[in-house]
Amino acid sequence: MTPSKVAEIPSGETETETETQTRTHSESAAGADRTSAAAVPAAEPRRRAPGLWRASAARSSVELKAFFRNKQSLVFTLFFPVLLLLVFGSIFSGKVEGTDTDFRQVFMAGIVAAGVMSTAFSGLAISVAIERDTGTIRRLAMTPMPKAAYFIGKLVRVVVTTVLETVLLIGIAVAFFSLPLPETGQRWFTLAWCLALGTAACALAGLAYSAAIPNSRSAPAIVTPVFMVLQFISGVFFPFDKLPVWMQNTAALFPVKWMAQGFRSVFLPDSFTVVEPAGSWELGRIALVLGLWAIGCLAATALTFGWRGPRVR
């Protein structure tokens, strides 16, 4: 038998040709494994869903930018009450019968309530209907964004635009139509809670009412008549006591009447209560009605709002 060939290795030891081939093959395989491992990128860490507050801040920014960049929203939602204030404020004159209060001051207090309804109810109901019809709501539901962030973004938009609308209306009324500012801290406090509760009630009513809007094209036609009718029957354009009793009773079912009454208690003298239906401002009842509207519309929104479904594109 012929002895196997041997190969000399650096250590001075000898090994057979078969062992040499085996060692070479193993080293080549190990090198290939290292090359393959280097070629395959390391797995990226799994992305975490954004936190609620971070997502809410991002969504709020989107809502505000979308609103202020939309000329139709600015004109209809923000400036329409201002236009009504300038037009009717220039037309009305004289004092309300049975009082020493200028009729324009009564109208100024009422138009603030109309401004809240414009930004919180009309603007929100129309925007939700458009987002549902264009598929925005469905796409947002497919993202990692917490669903609560969508509603927080809407709330921030409503709060910012409502405060801006209120400041704008009061500023114009004070500067051009001699509306007196609240004289006491208590009246300022009443303005704050009436504005907060009224905004919450109207915003939640807008969310709930959006379920009745079939598509984006019909949204303004379905929302605007409600907005206009409630203004006329709620004591915005006319002294509330001059309206028919059935109209007063109907208006008492909705929040606009109570907001207008609350704002009258802020800007008008207490002597004006002689023409109020109850003979007083009824601040406790105002808070109760607005609070009940907010709770009821929150429940209705929870039952009717859908992220998916036959009406969500």
Give mean pLDDT, residues 36-47. Answer: 44
pLDDT at 50: 61
Taking the C-alpha atoms of 46, 52, 58 and 61 in order, what is their torsion angle to the nearest 10 degrees? 170
- Is 0.85 surpassed by the pTM of this model? no
CA 104 to chain centre: 31
What is the band of 26 on the pLDDT scale with cuts at 50, 70, 90? very low
Angle at 236 between CA 231 and CA 240, to 5 degrees: 105
Q: Tell me: the pLDDT tens digits for 190-241?
A: 999 999 999 999 999 999 999 999 888 899 899 999 999 999 999 898 889 8
Q: What are the C-alpha distances in Å from 265 to residues 82, 99, 138, 233?
A: 21, 15, 44, 19
Q: Tell me: the pLDDT tens digits for 144-200?
A: 889 999 999 999 999 999 999 999 999 999 999 888 899 899 999 999 999 999 999
Nearest Cα neighbor of 125 from 202, 66, 62 is: 202
pLDDT at 98: 84
The region, left, alpha or beta by phi > 0 then psi within -120 to 50, assigned to residue 45 is: beta
Contact criterion met (CB below 8 Å) for 120 and 158: yes
- Report the chain's mean pLDDT, rounded to a whole number: 83
What is the band of 312 on the pLDDT scale with cuts at 50, 70, 90? low
Query: To the nearest whole percent, how much of the chain has pLDDT over 90?
Result: 54
Tokens of 152: 């927080």
Q: Which residues are bridge partners to 16 per DSSP?
A: 6
Contact criterion met (CB below 8 Å) for 56 and 148: yes
Whole-angstrom distance, CA of residue 5 vs CA of residue 89: 114
Whole-angstrom distance, CA of residue 209 vs CA of residue 227: 12
Q: Tell me: the pLDDT tens digits for 102-156?
A: 888 899 999 999 999 999 999 899 999 999 988 899 999 898 889 999 999 999 9
